[in-house]
Structure 1
Amino acid sequence: MNSIVLELQRELLQKDCDVMQVLRKAHLIAVKLNLTEFDAWIQGELHGYMCEAENLPAYRHMKGELKAKNPRLGWIPAILSTQSGQTLDTVPVYESLSALIDIGQKAKGNYFYYSYPPEFSMKICRQAGAPTYMEIALFISTHRIVEAVEQVKNCLLEWTLNLESKGILGENMTFNETETESAKGLSQQINYYGPVVHGNVTGSQIVSGSDNTATFYGAEAEIIHEVKESLEKEAISEDDMETAIELLEDISEKLSQNKKPGVIKAALSGLKDFLLAAGADITAALIVAKMQGMF
């Protein structure tokens, strides 16, 4: 008998097991048996999870070392917490498993990092009493990705053993009526689900490698538009707003003229300093993040 369930077991026990291939096969089995809850977990690993998903597996809450990017010293260790006292050394990882594997393979220095969005970093810097804005990121060992892959394989293996114990084997990729009926009584609980990590870090970007800086937004032409949108939300005086817009338009013109990077950097730095003095901290933080990605 050619059993798809036993075939999946054999593949999971192979040293060179292709975890994405076994997930696809598990998806096929789950759909045929109408195991929708278990398949939701499989789909999450295949395609990624929705942000702030309630049932994000515990192994996807990855712990790392929190660092701040000092303008003079580079990345330095940071010990920070939120106002609620929650430490920031753990982050929920929503990417598909294939994306995480790719990040792990491309990483330099055996780690990757999550760079928090500028607004969040600015808020944390204020709470910590930092003298200047610093980018905040969580550096995570690539071993965490290896652990996630192994957890997925272990979970699938336990699932196939449970199916086998109930006589659900699937001959020639099909399940008979008895097997389908037996599947209804199976528990679809995933053993590795854990508590949700609370705290909104929407906009975090994953970065692999040792010396990479986060490229938050794509083409340079988009920078002016996004900074202007942020600026319009700032509560600053009308005169300061007019001056900021003029400075921004000047930068836009320099970009269109393909001025040297040093000229653009100096103009952005001038705008950032003006905004900090005017009280437009969020937009100033956004510019800092843009500059770190550009230069």
Structure 2
Amino acid sequence: MATIVEKLQQAALDKDTPVNDLLRRVKFVATKLGLPSVEEWVDQELNGYASDAPPDYRSVHGTPIAVNPYRGPMPIGGYVDGLSWKTVREPVSALEALLTSTASGDTLQIGYSDKIREKLDRSNGVHGWNYYLQVSPSELRRILDRVRTLVLDWALTLEKTGIMGTEDSFDRAEKEKAQATATTINIGHIGSLVGNLGHGNVSGDIAISGLNTEQINSMLPQLRAHRDELVAADAHGPTLDDRLNALEKAIAYPQSDHGFVKGLLTDLRNCLSGAAGSLVATGALNILNAGLGTGVPAS
């Protein structure tokens, strides 16, 4: 019979297992092992981030829209980078339900706060307009895929640590090992994808100092020039296009939030990892891994 950790690994690999159900399995394992920080992360993903700041992977990028009462929806002009990002706080079950109910080709609308709407009204000399961020459903799928990957990484780390359990539990020695190595197997620290997912600084484990803007600026045009080759090699085209556009804008603006930049670079790396057979992707991955501190430095 498969052990409790093997079952978790299998569920993480099974695309038919809803992320909502997958997280409940993580909570079961974390509770059995006495890992409260993992339980906390699961609870926030299951119930939503009501007060704590969500991790970087829950930031989505889209097009800011103003609804003109006479002309209808239209993109907001000018410098809108600050409006192009929204943090998604809803539970994973809500994200899964929304994706299920969204027809192919549709976009999603995420409303702005009353404070932002009032500021936009004042800047446009109007009153009572509606504003929202128009995003692709792929942005929500990316969040769910990130959570699934984190769970798989965590379950694999448990195995590497020698914690497998039986069919439905763990022995005393495994529980003691889990608690003694809690920092190592904390789901917030095994994620080379997003850094620390626990309280406080959700991206503090990723270093960007080794990846300067000159390197990024020289890499992005090459990726764009070989876009079709990368997609043919199994990179996800829409995600690749979106991250390249967002990175070009972010790098051009010196005051861009480093957390957003790191998140974009991480998303770009994840997208390119599917095209690892491409020499262009391999070169870019070497640079990104070196800068993000998750791989062998580029030679």
TM-score over 0.5 for the pair: yes
Match 2:110 to one of 109, 114, 118: 114
Distance 1:73 1:195, change over 3 A: farther
- Structure 2 length-normalised TM: 0.59
Separation in structure 2 between the aligned mates of residue 80 and residue 134 of structure 1, nearest angstrom: 18
Separation in structure 2 between the aligned mates of residue 7 and residue 102 of structure 1, nearest angstrom: 25
Separation in structure 1 between the aligned mates of residue 77 and residue 28 of structure 2, nearest angstrom: 45
Match 2:129 to one of 125, 128, 134: 134
Partner of 2:64: 66
Runs of at least 5 residues in structure 2 that lack an aligned partner in the other structure: 205-299
Identity of aligned residues (%): 28
TM-aligned CA deviation for residue 134 of structure 1:
1.9
- Asked whether the equivalents of residues 49 and 95 of structure 1 are also in contact (C-alpha less than 8 Å), the reply is yes
Match 1:151 to one of 129, 133, 146: 146
1:180-238 alpha-carbon deviations (Å, 9 max, x no partner): 11112132125224459xxxxxxxxxxxxxxxxxxxxxxxxxxxxxxxxxxxxxxxxxx
Separation in structure 2 between the aligned mates of residue 58 and residue 118 of structure 1, nearest angstrom: 23
- Structure 1 length-normalised TM: 0.59
| Higher RCO, 1 vs 2 (CA within 8 Å, ≥6 residues apart) | 1
RMSD: 2.2
TM-aligned CA deviation for residue 158 of structure 1:
0.5
- Counting only pairs closer than 5 Å after superposition, residues 235-250 of structure 1 correspond to structure 2 as none
Partner of 1:47: 47
1:88 maps to 2:88: no
- Counting only pairs closer than 5 Å after superposition, residues 96-245 of structure 1 correspond to structure 2 as 96-108=91-103, 109-126=105-122, 128-184=123-179, 185-186=181-182, 187=184, 188=186, 189-190=188-189, 191=191, 192=194, 193=197, 194=202
TM-aligned CA deviation for residue 79 of structure 1:
3.4
Letter in 1 for 2:121: C
Separation in structure 2 between the aligned mates of residue 146 and residue 119 of structure 1, nearest angstrom: 28
Distance 1:44 1:80, change over 3 A: farther
Partner SS state of residue 73, structure 2: strand
Letter in 2 for 1:72: Y
Letter in 2 for 1:178: A
Letter in 2 for 1:69: V
TM-aligned CA deviation for residue 14 of structure 1:
2.1
TM-aligned CA deviation for residue 45 of structure 1:
1.4
Runs of at least 5 residues in structure 1 that lack an aligned partner in the other structure: 197-295
Separation in structure 2 between the aligned mates of residue 145 and residue 112 of structure 1, nearest angstrom: 9
In the alignment of these two chains, the number of paired residues is 190
The runs of 4+ residues in structure 1 deviating greater than 6 Å are none
Letter in 2 for 1:35: L
Q: Which has the higher helix share?
A: 2
Separation in structure 2 between the aligned mates of residue 30 and residue 80 of structure 1, nearest angstrom: 47
